[in-house]
Amino acid sequence: PKQVTKEVSSLTDIDIQQEVKKREDYRSVPCFTIDPESARDFDDAISLVHLDHGRFELGVHIADVSYYVAEGSAIDREAYERGTSVYFVNNVIPMLPERLSHDLCSLKPHTDRLAFSVIMEIDSRGIVQKYRIRETIIRSTVRFTYEEVEAIIEGKKHAHAKTIHLMVMLSLILRRAREEMGSIDFDISEPAISLDAQGVPYAIRPRERIEANRLIEEFMLVANRIVAQHIFSQNTKKTQKPFVYRVHEKPDEQSVRSFLELLERLGLKYQLGKELESDDYRKILDIIENLDYKYFIEKVALRSMTKAYYSIKNEGHFGLAFDNYTHFTSPIRRYPDLVVHRLLKFYAQQERNKKKLLKSEIATLSKTLKETCRHCSLREIRATQAEREFIKLKSMEFLSSKVGERYEGVISGIASFGMFVELSHYVIEGLVHVSELKDDHYEYDKEEYTLTGKKTGRVYRVGDAVNIRIKSVSKEEKKADFLLV
């Protein structure tokens, strides 16, 4: 909108001399950004110092978007309306104008930038012993890609190799601590699509989660958890601090029962305790780690779960096994993170001024945040659906040039009308219609998730490896039909 463009054009660079008086100056501590090769906005940087007594000081430094985007401004209203950035492989519909996301807020290397930092002292068991949440000034030392960090992890020499290796060590400690709490870590392959300049797909492969990805994930998780814990722990019966939490509820009873029944039909009898815990899912994933149908069980397990959403009620995060969780680490691309930054600053100022919110103020703020949570949850769903539709469209566009070719695949689903097969090399799904199984009449058993031939007794099960030939592809309907060979 014109009003947004007008506001953006009036934004200027920061006055460092003024800001350094109000902020913690973290420019002397080396910190890095680690992002995909194609990234143009850098909203998080990390630093690590190995302390004398065996602890680590981990800094998670997030772009201070709230400094530039005033609540109620045209930029803010447009960001709220969008709710999130939407990613389409080689393109992005940003939540914020590029002048902010790619320039003023972006934590570019060798440039003084305003940040909002969570600085944590973590012991050798992965427990955060101390922390502080501060408005800071940082200067990113290096802009790394994930692949560059992975090369250093694998032994490539670099001036900051020692710090990178320490970061890997700490991320492994944090991951182990999280797993011991019962945190679930799904490792489902997603397609990574390469497009040419005209947007035509020329390669699709399973996306790899390398150690560099996991390192960043762990550091962002612990920062998000500490921020949520910081506010929630200040709530008392007399004083409540309304906040935006990221909530993931337990799966409903019927979904869990269906999942356990499926496991039993596959020969895996798992006995729950008094009630379902996230640790139960983690144990099941450990059991199936080396089985042929591992990826199928993971998909069914994921489908049995509820969708995470934003809420002012802190119901905890079942999947991560965290009592407190929020989104703090991506204010350039997620509106709730921007709101969280504002709330942290607001409550810190209240504390400095020794003020307490009145009941009427708490009620008004709660009402506003509740509507923000509802709106942003819906915008997230819309963005996710659009991104998935785009991947389907480009996947079918890619397969349309492969009609007639043979591939290896795995049966990923069984229905009365046929079987879904996922191509092993491309992570793309297509249908073998039951009418194409001409060697026999196949009957569907919904209890066993099988198709069984009446005469031959041949059984097709989820997880079975098969060879297929691509029969036809419809880009318009975004579907592919396969033949067994």
What are 98-112's pLDDT values in tens digits?
Answer: 999 999 999 999 999
> pLDDT tens digit string along 303-358?
888 999 999 999 999 999 999 999 999 999 999 999 999 999 999 999 999 998 99
Residue 485 confidence (pLDDT) above 90? yes
Compute the average pLDDT of residues 46-63: 95
Residue 223 confidence (pLDDT) above 90? yes
Q: What is the pTM of this model?
A: 0.92
Residue 59 confidence (pLDDT) above 80? yes
User: Residue 70's pLDDT band (boundaries 50, 70, 90)?
Assistant: very high
Residue 447 confidence (pLDDT) above 90? no
The strand pair at 86-87 and 92-93 is best described as antiparallel
In eight-state DSSP terms, residue 423 is E
Collapsing DSSP to helix, strand or coil, 334 comes out as strand
Residue 198 confidence (pLDDT) above 80? yes
Task: Write down the pLDDT at residue 94.
Answer: 94
In eight-state DSSP terms, residue 194 is E
| CA distance to 60, 61, 140, 245, 466, per residue, from 224 (Å) | 10, 12, 21, 10, 43
CA nearest to 473, candidates 389, 387, 390, 395: 395
Handedness of CA 288, 290, 292, 296 (dihedral sign): positive
> pLDDT tens digit string along 260-313?
887 887 778 888 877 788 888 888 888 887 776 777 788 788 888 899 999 999
Residue 25 confidence (pLDDT) above 90? yes
Describe the chain by its helix, strand, coil percentages, rounded to 5: 35, 25, 35
C-alpha dihedral (127, 130, 133, 139), degrees to nearest 10? -80
CA nearest to 128, candidates 241, 245, 44, 228: 228
Compute the average pLDDT of residues 398-422: 93
Give yes or no for a contact between 137 and 20, defined as CB atoms under 8 angstroms apart. yes
Give yes or no for a contact between 234 and 356, defined as CB atoms under 8 angstroms apart. no
Compute the average pLDDT of residues 139-152: 96
For the range 91-97, what are the long-range contacts, defined as Cβ-Cβ under 8 Å and sequence gap of 24 or more?
94/41, 94/333, 95/332, 95/333, 95/334, 95/335, 96/65, 96/69, 96/332, 96/333, 97/4, 97/5, 97/8
Instruction: For residue 467, give both structure tokens.
Output: 């060879």
- Which residues partner with 46 through β-bridges? 32, 60
Task: Write down the pLDDT at residue 259.
Answer: 82
Sheet holding 459-461, edge to edge: 442-445, 450-453, 459-461
User: Residue 166's pLDDT band (boundaries 50, 70, 90)?
Assistant: very high
Residue 191 confidence (pLDDT) above 90? no
Compute the average pLDDT of residues 393-407: 95
| CA distance to 73, 91, 462, per residue, from 427 (Å) | 43, 21, 16
Residue 41 confidence (pLDDT) above 90? no
d(C-alpha 317, C-alpha 339), whole Å: 19
Count of CB atoms within 10 A of residue 344's CB?
21
Task: Write down the pLDDT at residue 319.
Answer: 93
Query: What value does the CA radius of gyration of the chain take, rounded to a whole number of Å?
Result: 25
Task: Write down the pLDDT at residue 479.
Answer: 95
Of 27-31, 88-92, 211-215, 272-276, minimum mean pLDDT range: 272-276
Task: Write down the pLDDT at residue 47.
Answer: 98
Task: Write down the pLDDT at residue 371.
Answer: 98
Task: Write down the pLDDT at residue 309.
Answer: 98
Compute the average pLDDT of residues 157-181: 96
Compute the average pLDDT of residues 372-389: 97
Mean pLDDT of the residues in the chain: 92
Q: Dmax over Cα atoms in the chain, in whole Å?
A: 84
Task: Write down the pLDDT at residue 82.
Answer: 98
Collapsing DSSP to helix, strand or coil, 387 comes out as helix
Burial (CB count <10 Å: 0-12, 13-18, 19+), residue 271: exposed
Residue 435 confidence (pLDDT) above 90? yes
Task: Write down the pLDDT at residue 300.
Answer: 80
Helix spans in 38-160 (H): 65-68, 74-82, 98, 146-153
Task: Write down the pLDDT at residue 277.
Answer: 84
Collapsing DSSP to helix, strand or coil, 314 comes out as coil
Of 148-152, 312-316, 394-398, 409-413, minimum mean pLDDT range: 409-413
Of 27-36, 255-264, 327-336, minimum mean pLDDT range: 255-264
